[in-house]
Amino acid sequence: MAGRPRAYLFYGSDTRASLREVARWRAVFEQKHGSYASFCIEADELDAARFADELTRCLQGNTLFDEPRLIVIRRLTVQEKGKSVPFTKALITALQPSILADENLTVAVWEEADLKTESLLLGFFESQEKAGVAKIHRFSVPTVAGLGRAVHTLLEKEGLDIEPEALRWLGDQYGWIERKSRLELRLKPGDTWEGDYRGWWLYQIIDGAILRNTSGILSLSDVQAGHRALGEPVGAFDIASALSSGNWAKTRALSSRFIAESTESGDYFALLAALRWQLRRKSSLSHVATAYAERLLGEVEVAAKNGIPEPSWLLSLLISRLEASSELEPLLPYRTLWLSQLPRG
């Protein structure tokens, strides 16, 4: 089959890199063809039947003309357990050869995790890649040997560099994390493990170092200061400030630490109050996004006060939904659905 691939899979342990790439794709597409031709399906907010219906609607498009369209499907497999893979099967059924032959169609599936080799989704994309109609992009956290190249690539995008001494220190710390994890989990060389947080660790230190840098070249003291900041307690207004400025990478990282450090429900109510206060001030979020966030916050507070589900689950999903600020408007009618998808107890 001639032409470019029609379906793309983005996944891997480096979720920040994969998400940024999908976002870049979508921005380029919308700049060229308009936002009306771009669709996004949040699979983890839907049940299997509604997902299948939404996918069919997006594949058909919203115009009578045969125009380019992009469909982004996020977190397809989150609700799938064991052999029960209704979302994956619905996607495979929908992406028949006749659909993948449509030159005006692009489907991008983003998974917020690594996929196991026996994954039905991965197997489908591998078979379609061999047929030339699909392409797989895997984003893995860098190895110790590849750390230097990864850091330089990251900093080049910011117009920055790093001193050799700082990079060596960063490499020593990064290697220690890997050795410690392998020892604790009794992993063999080449094995990967779930919950690999090295990518998160690296990005947070680099971000912290950039915030403290004034010369354009990250020094050892900059990097060590970024490392020390990882151990500082996370306050409610730290998260609220990051959210208000639209710094989603920092918002997600701070939220993860907040969840790990906070055990009292009062901590979460303090955070909700801080988020609401910050959203009512001048924010980089659009009017639609701010209104959506206000509604979500109200529902989160009611659910948390009634003890279902756990506040940490609510916070995680709240932040991930707010991160997709450009996609909030079509989700407004379904704003209560995401709460029903959370586990109880």
Q: What is the pLDDT of residues 220-276, one digit of tens each?
A: 999 998 888 776 666 777 777 777 776 666 676 677 777 766 656 667 667 777 777
Confidence of residue 113 (pLDDT cuts 50, 70, 90): confident
DSSP 284: S
Give percent of the chain with pLDDT exceeding 90. Answer: 26
Q: Which amino acid is at 23?
A: A
69-74/38-42 β-pairing? parallel
- DSSP classification of residue 265: H
pLDDT score, position 333: 41
Q: Which helix (H) or strand (E) holds 212?
A: helix 198-212
DSSP label at residue 216? S
Half-sphere exposure of 232 (CA within 13 A, CB side): 12
**The token pair that represents 310 in the structure block:** 């756990």
Q: What is the DSSP letter of 81?
A: B
Q: In the structure encoding, which two tokens stand for residue 236, read together?
A: 């409610």
Q: What digits encode the pLDDT tens for the residues 38-70? A: 899 988 878 899 999 999 988 887 655 578 889
Residue that has been written with the tokens 């870049």 in this structure: 24
User: What's the CA gap between 220 and 226, in Å, rounded?
Assistant: 10
Q: Are strands 7-11 and 69-74 parallel, antiparallel or unpaired?
A: unpaired
- Least Cα distance to 250 among 12, 11, 16, 7 occurs for 16
pLDDT at 18: 87
> Could you tell me where the beta strands, DSSP code E, fall in the chain?
7-11, 38-42, 69-74, 105-110, 134-138, 161-162, 217-218
| 129 against 189, higher pLDDT | 129
Q: Which range is least confidently modeled, 49-58, 71-80, 175-184, 335-344?
A: 335-344
Dist. CA 20–CA 153, nearest whole Å: 14
pLDDT at 1: 41
Tokens found for residue 170: 């960063």
* Helices then strands, each counted (H, E), the chain: 16, 7
pLDDT band at 101 (very low <50, low <70, confident <90, very high): confident
Q: Which residue did the predictor score with more confidence, 281 or 217?
A: 217
- What is the average pLDDT value for the chain, to the nearest integer? 79
Q: Is residue 331 pLDDT above 50, yes or no?
A: no
Q: Render pLDDT for 138-166 as a digit per residue (tens, 0 to 9).
A: 998 888 889 999 999 889 878 899 999 99
Check whether 340 has a pLDDT greater than 60.
Answer: no
Return the pLDDT at 341.
Answer: 47
Query: Are 243 and 280 within 8 A, CB to CB?
Result: no
Number of neighbours of residue 261 by Cβ within 10 angstroms: 10
Q: Is the pLDDT of residue 338 over 50?
A: no
User: Mind giving me the DSSP string for 177-198?
Assistant: HHHHHHHHHTPPTT---TT--H
Residues 6 or more apart from 130 whose CB is under 8 A from it?
none
Rounded CA-CA distance 114/120 in Å is 13
Of the pLDDT bands very low, low, confident and very high (cuts 50, 70, 90), residue 312 is low
Strands 134-138, 105-110: pairing is unpaired
Beta bridge pairs of residue 257: none
pLDDT band for position 201 (50/70/90)? Answer: confident
Classify 28 as helix, strand or coil: helix
Q: pLDDT band at residue 342, thresholds of 50, 70 and 90?
A: very low
Regarding pTM above 0.75, the answer is no
Cα Rg, the chain, nearest whole Å: 21
Task: Write down the pLDDT at residue 265.
Answer: 63
CB-side exposure of 169: number of CA atoms within 13 Å? 17
CA pair distance 88, 104, nearest whole angstrom: 23
Task: Return the pLDDT at 264.
Answer: 64
State the Cα–Cα distance between residues 27 and 21, nearest whole angstrom.
10
